Chains A and B, each alone.
Chain A
Amino acid sequence: MPATLLLLAACKPPPEGRHPMAGADAAAGRAVVERVGCGSCHAFPDIAWPRGAVGPDLSRFASQTMIAGRVPNRPDLLAAFVRNAPAVVPGSAMPAMPIDEAEARDVAAYLYTLGAE
């Protein structure tokens, strides 16, 4: 999986405005990320603690073309993925998360602020 990510990182970044998240609030999403403890596994550029090392670093997530190297990095798929990853990407190492749909959209909006050009 890290190899796939590396490959993906080499791809051309998506054009701006590619990730519309109507009605979602990135700041609220960041708060959800802090509260749920996503940092246990992932490092986020603007969250100092925790900076987990088990999952991928999400510092440039907005520039990625794929989610978990398996499905396209699309708002609707991302919102579904952060809430219940195994349902979107069977076999994903990321477990389902205790958040609701609105929160998931906020989280996705937040993720699209990371490393956006």
Chain B
Amino acid sequence: MSSAPIAAGGKGSPGARSETGFDPELYRRFPTKEERPEGELAELERVWQAPRGWRLLTAVNNNYIGTFYVGAAFLFFLLAGILALVMRVQLALPLQGVLPQETYNQFFTMHGTVMMFLFAVPAVEALGVLLLPQMLAARDLPFPRLSAYAFWAYLVGGLCFFASLFFGLAPNGGWFMYPPLTSTAFSPGINADFWLLGIGFIEISAIAGAIEIIVGVLKTRAPGMTLARMPIFAWAMLVFAGMIIIAFPAVIFGTLALELERALNWPFFDPTRGGDPLLWQHLFWFFGHPEVYIIFLPAAGLVSMMVSSLAKTPLVGYRLIVLALVATGFISFGVWAHHMFAVGMPRLSIGFFSAASMAVSVPAGIQVFSWIATLSTGKPSHNVPTLFVVGGLVIFVMGGLTGVMVAMVPFDWQAHDSYFIVAHLHYVLIGGMVFPLFATFYFWAPMMSRRPLSERLGKWVFWLMFAGMHLTFLPMHLTGLMGMPRRVWTYLPERDWEITNLLSTAGAFVLGAGILLFLVDIARNFRFTTGDTAGNVYGGGTLEWLPNGLYAARSIPVVTSRDPLWDQPGISEDVEEGRYFLPGTATGHRETLITSPLNAEPQFLQIMPGPSVWPLFSAIFTAGFFLLLTVQAYTIGVVSGVLAILCVLRWLWETDRVVEPARVDIGAGIQVPTYVTGGSTHGWWAMVVLLIVILMIFLMALFSYLYLYGIHGRVWVSPPATFWLAPVLAGYGGATGLALLARRLLARETSTLWSPATNLIFAAGTLALGWAVDLHSWRASGLSPESSGQGATVYGLVAHQGMVVFVALLYAVYIAARNSRGLVSRPRNTSFDLATMFIAYCGVQGSVGALVVRLFPGVV
């Protein structure tokens, strides 16, 4: 097999310049020649051994969590699909009585919500958890317990959310939940709260997943795997995770605001009290449209990888594809308002969003033609993954073309909220995500199953799904042009909508039959294993096809190419024989190699946590907290919340330990430390990502404040007198200062009485004091949160600050507790570092927030 020209570094030489001071010449020591010591492999296997029996619930390894995760996401796909089938029966003919009006409204709301939030996003995230470590030749993702927690919270929460349907308590306001329909005035039941709850879990697991993936991709790649040599899927997941941390905060703030409006009567969206229903639409779609690309990009990344493997040739236009992925990420944040062309926006905004919506199809075009070019270059195999890839491509192109149509504003005014859109979005999502997902199932199943899936059944699955998909959704374009609006539980006979609807219903069952057959294939052929897998059936060139165990590859290879298995002869044997990095366990713990973000130069050995019951308990109590609050069992709800926090702290307690020895040999005499602090650690990166999320939520709250001022500014009241700023800023600013001082003290101070940890508690206390004054001054000013949009957004900002202050206090106490047990290493300590970063950030955020809402619009 031929090699693609490599963008950076030049062929064969891993990294021309050093990023960290690591000497790339050292790579030449691999593969090593000497015999590996006796028992090394057995020790590695012992350390990574999975818990057995019911203790499997405590597993945190990505092979298990990833598989559970994919399975759970697929379960929700099936459940939401069943809802769709029942809805199609109801709509097959006019005035059917299969689903009464209210039930239908709950069904379509759940179908959309479950498909988008409980299937699509978790499914691609799950594929990330499952595939990324292997593709990067990392032992696991950097925070295995966080993955486990995110998965369990999602599964427990998702199932409870879905169960609301059986009690008639499922949300009925549509997956977009527009207020005022979803405000208490028009949705007094707890149905809408269930939606907000269900979304809460996904927000948690999506953010957790994004942190995991960003840090995983940037910090745990195999040595020598520069950014330009990353598998496209890793690029796609990096963009995916970046988009999540920018987009999800909008919906996090939106759902919090809607719940505050419902529970406490804060009028964010109530136009009679200075709120605005369109504020929700902006927040929702600022998240909601990138969401589509959040779903599509990882799937497109997988397609890029599969196309290359299936055509047995390097991907044509790798750099263009990376560019397209990144461009899509950026442009997708400029298109949200195309969901709102019909709300009566100013013409200028309409023009901007229309242009951006069309521009976003260029990166899609790049990918489509790059795949076609790759297929033309190589020798495409005619098998099931190829069928799904090509079929998905055709469907996606059709969806993209109707997408261009609706990006044309005048046409959108007709098509908007009609069945034309239903057709369009299903083409995009099924072609862009579902078919690639099935291709993925067929392509990667041999990586963790003893047997590959069946080619014979697979072809039936494909053709049934492909035909059923078109039969369902192609006629819907026409149904839409015939004037049928979306989200209707029935229609009148004289509208002539029967024929196309009947076709769609028939098609839905053909599609369903295909998926049923897929389940048969899974039942007959999928046999989960972590050892004796069916292996590289389709001849892929990337690292996940190295011989694999629970610990991923036996040793972590030096990567000099984008398709190492094709371009580095003998790599599989060398890896399996332990002739590369970390052929065993260096410290007797689970560990993985942390490398630098650009050139993937080895930096240190991360000690990884093993199986634990605490992430599971944390997840159950987190789910309990939200669920119990939703059903208005406040006391035990709060108890559950406290237990969740305690469980999280318990799980964290075991982490961030200094281990012996301080430096270890990771192969060929190369030594790296086992404990480091500062900017190269995975913890530091995770904290930075988390702070960006919190900052984005803060910015969304600030945006809401400014937006409502723009709409209803006339009725705004003056802020508290300016002198209040002095104590507020002193508190917030002081906290930042004290936190930074605490870190300096840690390096110097030896006294236990005036310990740095005490200083951190002071910092958090000062923060809380500043916040208390902040809150008090607003209350004294007479502005109440219920009174107006101004009140709601101001107190929204204060509440957000209150939340981070609470976490800061908790954090300080936690660090003090660690300190008292001698767990805070000196001169520097990662937990301590992260706490100071967090508290320092809180002070800055509080100051900025206080300045804006007190000085604008009053003084400025």
Contacts and interface: CB of A to CB of B under 8 A. Distances in A.
B494 A35 contact: yes
A34 B94 CA distance: 10
Interface in A16-41: 31, 34-35
A49 B494 contact: no
Given A31-B493, A48-B490, A49-B490, 12 more contacts: A34-B95, A34-B493, A35-B493, A35-B494, A47-B95, A48-B95, A48-B96, A48-B97, A48-B98, A49-B95, A49-B97, A51-B97
10 closest pairs, A vs B, by CB? A48-B97, A49-B95, A48-B96, A48-B95, A34-B493, A49-B490, A49-B97, A47-B95, A34-B95, A35-B494
15 contacts: A31-B493, A34-B95, A34-B493, A35-B493, A35-B494, A47-B95, A48-B95, A48-B96, A48-B97, A48-B98, A48-B490, A49-B95, A49-B97, A49-B490, A51-B97
Nearest to B96: A48
Nearest to A49: B95
Interface residues of A, number: 7
A59 to B, nearest CB: 13
Nearest to A39: B95
Q: Which has the most chain B C-beta neighbours within 10 Å: A31, A48, A51?
A: A48
B350 to A, nearest CB: 39
Nearest to A50: B95
Interface string B833-857: 0000000000000000000000000
Main secondary structure of the interface of A (DSSP, over half): loop
A34 to B, nearest CB: 6
A49 B494 CA distance: 14
Contacts of A49: 95, 97, 490
Interface string B490-521: 10011000000000000000000000000000
A84 B851 CA distance: 78
Nearest to B494: A35
Contacts of B98: 48
Interface in A42-68: 47-49, 51
B351 to A, nearest CB: 43
Interface in B445-498: 490, 493-494
- Secondary structure at the B interface, as helix, strand, loop or mixed, is loop
Interface in B65-100: 95-98
A79 to B, nearest CB: 23
Contacts of B494: 35
B386 to A, nearest CB: 45
B847 to A, nearest CB: 60
Contacts of B490: 48-49
Contacts of A47: 95
Nearest to B493: A34
Contacts of B96: 48
A31 B93 CA distance: 13
Nearest to B97: A48
Contacts of A31: 493
Interface string B342-372: 0000000000000000000000000000000
Contacts of B97: 48-49, 51
A117 B128 CA distance: 62
A48 B493 CA distance: 12
A51 B494 CA distance: 18
A34 B490 CA distance: 14
Nearest to A46: B97
Nearest to B101: A49
A26 B490 CA distance: 24
Interface string B98-138: 10000000000000000000000000000000000000000
A48 B91 CA distance: 12
Contacts of B95: 34, 47-49
A47 B355 CA distance: 48
A31 B493 CA distance: 9
Most chain A C-beta atoms within 10 Å of own C-beta, residue among B95, B493, B494: B95
Interface string B324-357: 0000000000000000000000000000000000
Contacts of A34: 95, 493
A5 to B, nearest CB: 24
A48 B98 CA distance: 8
A31 B494 CA distance: 10
Most buried by B among A31, A49, A51: A49
A35 B494 CA distance: 8
A107 B493 CA distance: 17
A50 to B, nearest CB: 8
A69 B494 CA distance: 34
Nearest to A48: B97
A28 B95 CA distance: 17
A48 B95 CA distance: 6
B46 to A, nearest CB: 64
Contacts of A48: 95-98, 490
B555 to A, nearest CB: 66
Contacts of B493: 31, 34-35
B490 to A, nearest CB: 6
A12 to B, nearest CB: 31
A81 B97 CA distance: 28
A34 B97 CA distance: 14
Contacts of A51: 97
A51 B100 CA distance: 12
B743 to A, nearest CB: 69
A34 B95 CA distance: 9
Nearest to B95: A49
A47 B97 CA distance: 8
B510 to A, nearest CB: 25
Interface in B760-775: none
Contacts of A35: 493-494
A31 B97 CA distance: 16
A51 B97 CA distance: 10
A88 to B, nearest CB: 28
B110 to A, nearest CB: 22
A26 to B, nearest CB: 17
Nearest to A31: B493
A35 B204 CA distance: 51
A21 to B, nearest CB: 23
A48 B490 CA distance: 10
A115 B237 CA distance: 62
Interface in A63-108: none
B837 to A, nearest CB: 61
B102 to A, nearest CB: 13
B669 to A, nearest CB: 79
